[in-house]
Amino acid sequence: MDFKQDGFMIIVGLCVIAVILGQSIHFLVKAYKQGKKIGIETSTMKSTIISSALFSITPALAIVATILALAPSLGIILPWIRLSVIGNLMQETSAATAAVEALGHGGLTSEITDHTEFTAVAWVMALASMMPLVVLPFVLKRLQSGMKKVTGKSDTKLVDSLSAAAFIGLISTFIARAIIGQDTGKVVDGVVKSNNDGAGVMSVATLVSAVIFMLVLSKIAEKFKLRWLENFAMPISMFAALGVAIILTQVLPESISSLEWRPLTACIGGMMR
């Protein structure tokens, strides 16, 4: 049997997710009890749980897709472990690619069969992502009290606006990528391959539908005082927008649905330089 996905690897994976689930459940119970103590309504906490669960489904499926992208070379278990603990959708692919290249092994498309190479990749992926865990226990408390001192002196309206601004800055990078971003592409075995993240008809259509669904649902919830709809407007809008993406791909001619503003082929020269 393939050593990359044998019983031993599965047991390692299960141990890792047991730790992650252990911490999550422990924190969930603690926060829930504290919520009751400070008088947050049980219904509010319950709907937070349900809406967060629904919210997480599609992003989790996108993470599953990343696991799959790494599976041909690394098997399915190691990418699964890496994306369950600290892993990040955007980072793991580049960490694995760098490790594989450093070993002089072409790229991520060919299977790794050598035990030493596989172990080296596992080390690089783990070490590359460990920094926040090393730093966090030392700095978080100090950082929080430092920030409190600064914000404590300021006007609350400014503090609220600044925290909104920080988040809007984050969202705007993803929005801008969906509007005008170019396929980031990757060089695999000397050939430039699409990363499927260029902006075009479909990314704009999905973005605009999500915005419209969200605005309409929030308006309906507000007008008819539907508290449940208010709680679920966000996950529902996300699913609905993804539904639009699926339907448009089915009904539009492929030349339109696959249209990207700045396709990868037009820029290969620029990328390779």
Partner 1 sequence: MKKERTYNDKMHTLGRIWDIIVLVTLLLVPAVIGIRLNVYPSASVIFKGLMKVAPLFWVAGVVEIIAYTPLLGTGGMYLSFTTGNISNLKLPCALNAMETAKVKPGSDEGEVITTIAIATSSIVTTLILAIFVLPLRSLLPVISASDSVFAPALRHVLPALFGALGASYFVKHWKISILPISVMCLILIFAGTMTAGNLIIVGVIVSILGCLAFYKLKWL
Q: Is residue 137 classed exposed, middle or buried when 0-12, 13-18 and 19+ CB atoms within 10 A define those classes?
A: exposed
Nearer to partner 1, 8 or 111 (CB): 8
CB of 32 to partner 1, least distance (A): 6
CB of 273 to partner 1, least distance (A): 12
Separation between Cα atoms, residue 236 and residue 234, nearest integer Å:
5
Nearer to partner 1, 132 or 190 (CB): 132
Separation between Cα atoms, residue 261 and residue 273, nearest integer Å:
21
Cβ contact 79:70 at 8 Å:
yes
Nearer to partner 1, 189 or 243 (CB): 243
Nearer to partner 1, 17 or 189 (CB): 17
Beta strands, E only, 109-255: 186-188, 191-193
Nearer to partner 1, 152 or 189 (CB): 152
CB of 73 to partner 1, least distance (A): 14
Separation between Cα atoms, residue 145 and residue 246, nearest integer Å:
47
CB of 236 to partner 1, least distance (A): 9
Residues 6+ apart with CB under 8 A from 12: 77, 81
Burial 57-78 (b: 16+ CB within 10 A, else e): eeeeeebeebbeebbebbbbbb
CB of 97 to partner 1, least distance (A): 9
Cβ contact 179:199 at 8 Å:
yes
